[in-house]
Structure 1
């Protein structure tokens, strides 16, 4: 069976949909990154992370409106590119980059990163579930900061069904070459499907090896499976200001919010 092409799709209001091919890791690029508008210019950086459950619950739009308030980055998993979601991005002047991973009804679903400024680097990644053969996706984007640094953002929807942790570990390892050689700040976040002790161990070891700190929630209402949280935020080169989990029935996951400075 031929391997499906790997690419991402960019939605910008008033412009044609753009298909973006995978990029080599930054350390392998021979050209310099383009100059772009800073993601944020002062104060704090606010991000929201949410598995939106393919927008299958009636009130997903209301929660997305709440999450987008004063937010610079929205990291969605299972985001389905319905006209309403694309319209939401346009109304809020957000650039939406999505990895079409799963064919669902008329519109593909996958990770989607919505940002208040254009990324200057974009690399989609896909990994197939061993049994269901359904792909899970990750998206690496890079944004310029007013300081001259570049912020790397990795939006992840991890493999769910597998015997052992080999495929799970491989999906994370494919990210490490990108993170390892990046000299600026990093945010790694998403639905990691870390529902077993071995998966948690793999994830925590991966984060430690890359010197990523875990965001700890005082009131930890994160969605759990078998007693273990599924969603995480890790970071490096930033200072955490505050973090919270919002309780909602707009998806089968509760969204995470973190503010950095």
Structure 2
């Protein structure tokens, strides 16, 4: 009798263990159903796109896109963990598995497609210049001999030095906030990156009225969502989510919410897989 009781008790423990394991496994396979988190790479210092607020919350168009996509993958907002992903570390972050996907003004290029896969594009931006309100820079070539700031690893810096103004004195910082601060103090003459990013900074209360966009379309920047190379299943799911976001009006609402205050003239929502050269 004692032997039967011990055996029965062990069987109950074993059954509970197997059940718990199965629940955990099912949660992982089914998205965020069991409370699992998903890590998503974003920028922390881009107003209007990806910005970490003083209270620890996040705001911006990229944040809204990432949240919508994660929801379509089965995750609730409280299951999303946003991870700061700087421009120079995006490919490595995906390769290491630090994040599931990256929504961080990540322009799709042939070079990057050798290392990562992209869903999208979800926004078409253009490289531009941010200068002081009274500056006379009106063309890209006017940057020759000027102090120009961009972020390490960005396509904007490469475009300037290779074709637009090879004699510009390029200074590369780790973040755009540093570039904007340098522009304010006069340490640099111009900041270059995508117009969507520059518009967000120019619209901030502390900078309002000090800067202007040069209005130059120096390049086409097709923002994509970066995914680990070979993860075709995730790419397909994200593309489906993006198509739904545009169709149900959430994309347009996010554009108005995040770019409206900066009077940013955005392009229409791009079609999935359509890259504008």
TM over 0.5, shorter chain: no
TM-score using structure 2 length: 0.28
- Give the structure-1-normalised TM-score: 0.29
Higher relative contact order (CA 8 A, sep 6+): 2
Instruction: Decide which structure has greater strand share.
Output: 1
Q: Is the radius of gyration larger for structure 1 or structure 2?
A: 2
